[in-house]
Amino acid sequence: MREICLCSLTNIRSGSCKGDCKFCTQSIYWGAKIERYRWKPISQIVEEAERAWEVGASGFCLVTSGIELDPHSLPRLQKMIESLKKRIPQLKLIGCFGIAEKRELEELKKAGLSAYNHNLESSPSFYPRLVTTHRWEERFKTAQLVKEVGLELFSGGIFGVGEDKRDWKEMIKALKKLDPEVIPLNFFIPNPALPLERTHSKEMALEVISLFREAFPQSVIMLAGGRELVFGDKWVEGIKAGADGIIIGNYLTTGGDAPHKDWKVIRQYGIRVKNARS
């Protein structure tokens, strides 16, 4: 089995997003019952980063709700990144702030950001059935800019939202042009407020993982949202199918398994972890 890396994330601004992504509880369109807040205090984010580091995460992703990076929030994000970098210099910081301009990405990099997460979500032809407030092409453009400024690119998508195998192949074709360092695979987490039914199963998830592993032998294939829903504590099946990364801890608006449960699986199967510290 491959060595895996662990990544953790924090939602630093939650909900009230003007996007209409049908899979997302943070959209104002669906009225999902989630915790909403404007900005999480930096002190809390630093504490969360310390906890992530303690449980073995080598990457920490800062996420804001919203279609695009609001230029007014740039100084706040820069300050946040600088504080985190000062506290835990070895922790890789990943930003996920939506559609962004080149200058903004350069500023974030200067502050200490190592990578930017910007998922294509789905194929260009299926995307308009999931989202109408912004275009797939705009997302693709930002992903290109991420590479251009020399940040690592995390870019993957969401599965089990009604797409089919042709969409996976189309998405792979698009991602090939971007050559992401990390490809997060999210499996849709249903919510009664969302206008989508889950169309994934464990077999389907395993097929997606194998397909992406085969297409991207050099990238990290990360099991992201929905891992617990698909695999329960048998996520090692996903690793055997070719994944080599997991999100540890909670997701944006839903809880994940407690890190000690994941570590139990890691030890049980003798999985090697990149930069393990516990």
- For ligand SF4, the binding residues (CB under 6 A) are 17, 19, 21, 24, 26-27, 65-67
Residue 34 beta carbon to ligand SF4: minimum distance, rounded to whole angstroms:
11
- Of the two residues 132 and 268, which places its CB atom closer to ligand SF4 in the complex? 132
Residue 259 beta carbon to ligand SF4: minimum distance, rounded to whole angstroms:
25
Report how far Cα 155 is from the mean position of its chain's Cα atoms. Answer: 8
Residue 203 beta carbon to ligand SF4: minimum distance, rounded to whole angstroms:
26
- Of the two residues 25 and 114, which places its CB atom closer to ligand SF4 in the complex? 25
Residue 186 beta carbon to ligand SF4: minimum distance, rounded to whole angstroms:
10
- Of the two residues 27 and 142, which places its CB atom closer to ligand SF4 in the complex? 27
Find out whether 58 and 4 touch, Cβ atoms under 8 Å. Answer: no
Among 203, 211, 155, CA closest to 181: 155
- Of the two residues 67 and 113, which places its CB atom closer to ligand SF4 in the complex? 67
- Of the two residues 6 and 252, which places its CB atom closer to ligand SF4 in the complex? 252
Residue 235 beta carbon to ligand SF4: minimum distance, rounded to whole angstroms:
23
CA dist., res. 68 & res. 203, Å (int) = 34
Residue 73 beta carbon to ligand SF4: minimum distance, rounded to whole angstroms:
14
- Of the two residues 65 and 122, which places its CB atom closer to ligand SF4 in the complex? 65
